Structures are given as C-alpha cells and as structure tokens.
A and B are shown apart, each in its own frame.
Chain A
Amino acid sequence: MSVLKRLNDPQLGREMIKKVKEQAAQLAGHLGRAVALMEVCGTHTMAISSTGLRSLLAGLVELRSGPGCPVCVTAAGDIEQMIALARMPGVTVATFGDMVRVPGVLSSLERERAGGARVQIVYSPVDAVALARDKPDQEVIFLGMGFETTAPMVALSINQANNLRLTNFSVYSVHKLVPPVMRALLGAGEVKVDGLILPGHVCAITGSEAFAFIGEEYGIPAVVTGFTPVDILDALHILLNKIQTGDNRVVNGYRWVVRDDGNLQAQSAIKNCFYLGDAIWRGFGVVNGSGLLIGEKFAHYDAMRKFTAERLDDAAEPQGCRCGELLRGLISPGDCPMFGHPCTPASPVGPCMVSSEGACAAYYHYR
C-alpha cells in the first residue's frame, strides 16, 4: 500500500482509535473530567466530524473548535464592504466559493449576484488575475481572505498582475495571522483547554516554532498535524502523552509537510507584499498586529485605497447568532438556540453555518 493510502487506511485508523481511547480514558480518569482540546483549524473541525472521531471520543475528549475558519472570522464590517464593492458599476468581484453565501446585514454576495452584480467564484487568486487580463473593461477586485497559507499566493498574484502591468486589478485584503489571535484567545483566559491541535498548512508557512510561545507563555502543549485520519489520531496520541507528562513544548507532528522554521520563500513573499496592521476578527474585535495589509510598493493594487476612503468599523452581527463565542471556543454549535432551526446550511444565519470549514456546518452535516 502506498504511503498516502496508508495515511487514510481505515483498518489502521480503527486500531489507532482504540489506543487513543485507552489513553484518553486513563487521562480523563486522572483529571476527573473529559480532556479538553481545541482544534484551531476549520479543516480539522470538518475532518474530526466527518471521520466520526468527535462522537467516538465523546465523554473522554471534548474537542472544541477555534478561530481557524477564514470565512467565519471575517468581520461583519468587511462583509458589508465587500457587498458594497460588488454593487459598484463596472466591477467584478472574484472570491472563493464559501464567501459568496455569507449573510450580511441586508444582503450577501449571492443575493447581489442574483440582482445583477458580477460575482465570480475562483479557486486561486491567479484566476482573478487572468480574469482582469481577459476583461480589460472590467475592474476586477479579488476578495483576499485567509491565513498564512493563502497570503503568499495572493502576494504572488499581485506580483503577476504587476508584471502584466494590469491597472484593472486589485485586492481587498482581510488576510489574518494565526499566532496573534491565539495569543488574544489564550491571553483572555476565557477558554480553558488542556492542549491544542495546530493548523498544519498554516504551520507549513510559519513553521511549528512560530507557535512555541503557547507552551512557554500559557503552559499547555500543542501539536502540529495534518488532515488524514492517521495524522489526526497520531496528534491526539502525542498530545495526550504530553498532557499526561506535563511536557508543554510544541511538537511538529506533521514532519512530512511542515518544517520547524516553515517555508522561507513563502514568508518572504508575504513580507514583500504586505505589512502588519491591526485586523478586526469576528468574535474578537481588533487584534493588534494580526492583519496583512497591502504595502506602499503595491498600493495601486490595494482595493481599500482604490475604492474606499477608509475601512468600515465593524457592522452588526446577525441577531442571535453565537458565532463569536463559538470562534472563541466558549460554546459548541449545539449550544446556539438557532442551530438547526432556523439556522441550517440551506438558510444560514451566521458564517459558521455557511463555510465548508465552519463548525456549525460541520456539526450539522455529521449530526
């Protein structure tokens, strides 16, 4: 069996679950409660739900979701701004699929599209550059959201637009960084977890060492891991061991993809294009130094400068939606009174029910 197949081998997975369950039972017995872990990344939330791991470990390990779904943490004010951009005549906004359905106060990109706005779903920011090249009479605005994993790709696309000397392309950048929000989350002291599962592909860029502060400053262990069932079970095994032995160092459990110091080329692509600024996160408000804003050198590709005088302050959250608390790890989707009724993936009230990485969507699909 190939290595990639083995990482998804159900037989191996079943045996690993047995082992992890034994370990968890021992630790939970020792603690006198379920072990509380947070999976920071939305893709982990989805994988943990879809493999049934969440229910298999229920009572022994409580797996809580964190702020790692890029669509979900995009501030309500930015959603309004994106909708306003889509409404402008002569503009095409290009974005990843999930963003289109996120409800704003009165509208969404999807609704604007139904009303005649040009909203194009793309898989890569280079597709948005190609769109601008092929439609010189249209102003193409790429809605750039995501974490460290996506930011270098957007930086490269801006470079590409610059090489093509495009004047009808720009990026509305709400890119965010994960380490500062983890500091904000843990520093607030609201959420109590015994350990963290760190986002594998964010760490592919930042390196596992970028998260060493978690053990040093907050005294809990953290493991970087990937997204196959074997990766996740391996990470649980490592994490439970670390909690048991009181070893709080960050562990790179995803060595087949992640280097301890990350991808240096990607880091310099980010630095070349963006500068560090403050960002507004849904659920957190302003987190200092957590945003990537387009630098002076590429100011002409910055949709914020090109089309809006200044960034909007935050807008109102959907009424009754508890995405904010969910993203801070304080509640589970089931704790929201609107979960399942009236909030469903078909008619979402908040972004956490829209996104394929949103915790509410994950819990809803795999109830």
Chain B
Amino acid sequence: MCLGIPALVVEVPDKEWAVIEVEGIMCQVGVHLVGEVVPGDYLMVHAGFAVEKLDLAEAKARLDLWEELLDFERAEKA
C-alpha cells in the first residue's frame, strides 16, 4: 500500500488531475500536491495521488557517478 510507482504523465485535463501511464495502463491521479505538471513529466504516485515530481536528472547523475566509480575500480584491478 505504501508502494510508490513512477508514472509518466500523458495528459493533463485540468489543474487537479492528470492521466498517467504505468506499464501500459492508463489511470487518473490527483496532482494537488505537486504544482503544475505537463505531459512528459514523471510522477511518484501513491494511493491515487502524486507525491512528488521526479527529478530524473538527479537520478542520472547518481547513476553516472556509480558507473565512474566501477570503471575506476575495474581499471585499477586490471
């Protein structure tokens, strides 16, 4: 029940609700708590509402850092 799911916004019919897609399934969620959203945004959804907008650039930066660290270690071992 606490499980948040990342979801892609496909349509924003009004200020309070957005249509999202998760694994091919569309549904409507409340966006009352996350400010303005536009199609293409990603949301973390919980119990029918968006909890936050996702900052995928932040996730990417973290992932890239790991790739770098692992590359470095591989090079060191070789």
- Residues of A at the B interface (CB closer than 8 Å) are 3-4, 6-7, 12, 15-16, 19, 41-43, 68, 70-71, 96-98, 123-127, 146-147, 149-150, 152-153, 156, 199-201, 204-205, 227, 230, 234, 255-259, 263, 265-266, 269, 356-357
Closest A residue to B74 using CB positions = A15
Q: Is the beta-carbon distance between A149 and B66 smaller than 8 angstroms?
A: no
Q: In the assembly, what is the distance between CA of A259 and CA of B35, in Å?
A: 14
CB distance from B1 to the nearest CB of A (A): 4
Q: Tell me the residues in window 21-49 of chain B with beta carbons closer than 8 Å to chain A beta carbons.
A: 30, 32-35, 42, 44, 46-49
Give the 9 A-B CB pairs with smallest separation, nearest first: A124-B48, A256-B59, A256-B58, A96-B1, A255-B58, A265-B33, A3-B56, A266-B33, A153-B49
Q: Is the beta-carbon distance between B44 and A201 smaller than 8 angstroms?
A: yes
Q: Is the beta-carbon distance between A19 and B6 smaller than 8 angstroms?
A: no
- Point out the residues of chain B lying under 8 angstroms from A255, CB to CB: 55, 58, 62
CB distance from A300 to the nearest CB of B (A): 22
- Point out the residues of chain A lying under 8 angstroms from B69, CB to CB: 19
- Point out the residues of chain A lying under 8 angstroms from B2, CB to CB: 41-43, 68, 70, 146-147, 149-150, 199, 201, 357
CB distance from B59 to the nearest CB of A (A): 4
Residue among A4, A153, A259 making CB contact with B47, cutoff 8 Å? A153
CB distance from B70 to the nearest CB of A (A): 5
Q: In the assembly, what is the distance between CA of A174 and CA of B52, in Å?
A: 24
- Point out the residues of chain B lying under 8 angstroms from A256, CB to CB: 54-56, 58-59, 62
CB distance from B40 to the nearest CB of A (A): 13
Q: Is the beta-carbon distance between B51 and A356 smaller than 8 angstroms?
A: no
Q: In the assembly, what is the distance between CA of A182 and CA of B70, in Å?
A: 35
Residue among B3, B52, B63 making CB contact with A204, cutoff 8 Å? B52
Residue among A150, A201, A265 making CB contact with B34, cutoff 8 Å? A265
- Point out the residues of chain B lying under 8 angstroms from A15, CB to CB: 70
Known: A70-B1, A71-B1, A234-B66. A149 touches B35 (CB 8 A): no
- Point out the residues of chain A lying under 8 angstroms from B56, CB to CB: 3-4, 256
Q: In the assembly, what is the distance between CA of A265 and CA of B6, in Å?
A: 20
Q: In the assembly, what is the distance between CA of A234 and CA of B60, in Å?
A: 13
Q: In the assembly, what is the distance between CA of A170 and CA of B55, in Å?
A: 36
Q: Is the beta-carbon distance between B66 and A204 smaller than 8 angstroms?
A: no
Q: Told that A124-B47, A255-B55 touch, could you supply 11 new A-B pairs with CB distance under 8 A?
A: A6-B60, A7-B63, A16-B70, A19-B69, A19-B73, A97-B1, A124-B49, A153-B46, A204-B4, A204-B52, A265-B32
CB distance from B25 to the nearest CB of A (A): 12
Q: Is the beta-carbon distance between A201 and B55 smaller than 8 angstroms?
A: no
Q: In the assembly, what is the distance between CA of A146 and CA of B47, in Å?
A: 11
- Point out the residues of chain A lying under 8 angstroms from B47, CB to CB: 96, 123-125, 146, 149-150, 153
| Selected A-B contacts with CB under 8 Å, 9 pairs | A41-B2, A149-B2, A156-B33, A156-B49, A201-B2, A255-B55, A256-B58, A257-B51, A257-B52
Q: In the assembly, what is the distance between CA of A127 and CA of B29, in Å?
A: 11
Closest B residue to A202 using CB positions = B2
- Point out the residues of chain A lying under 8 angstroms from B62, CB to CB: 234, 255-256
- Point out the residues of chain B lying under 8 angstroms from A43, CB to CB: 2-3
CB distance from A147 to the nearest CB of B (A): 7
Q: In the assembly, what is the distance between CA of A357 and CA of B4, in Å?
A: 13
Known: A15-B70, A146-B2, A147-B2. A7 touches B59 (CB 8 A): yes
- Point out the residues of chain A lying under 8 angstroms from B42, CB to CB: 4
Q: In the assembly, what is the distance between CA of A178 and CA of B10, in Å?
A: 33
Q: Is the beta-carbon distance between B44 and A257 smaller than 8 angstroms?
A: yes
Known: A156-B49, A257-B44, A356-B1. A230 touches B63 (CB 8 A): yes
Q: Is the beta-carbon distance between B51 and A127 smaller than 8 angstroms?
A: no
Q: In the assembly, what is the distance between CA of A19 and CA of B55, in Å?
A: 26
Q: Is the beta-carbon distance between B3 and A16 smaller than 8 angstroms?
A: no
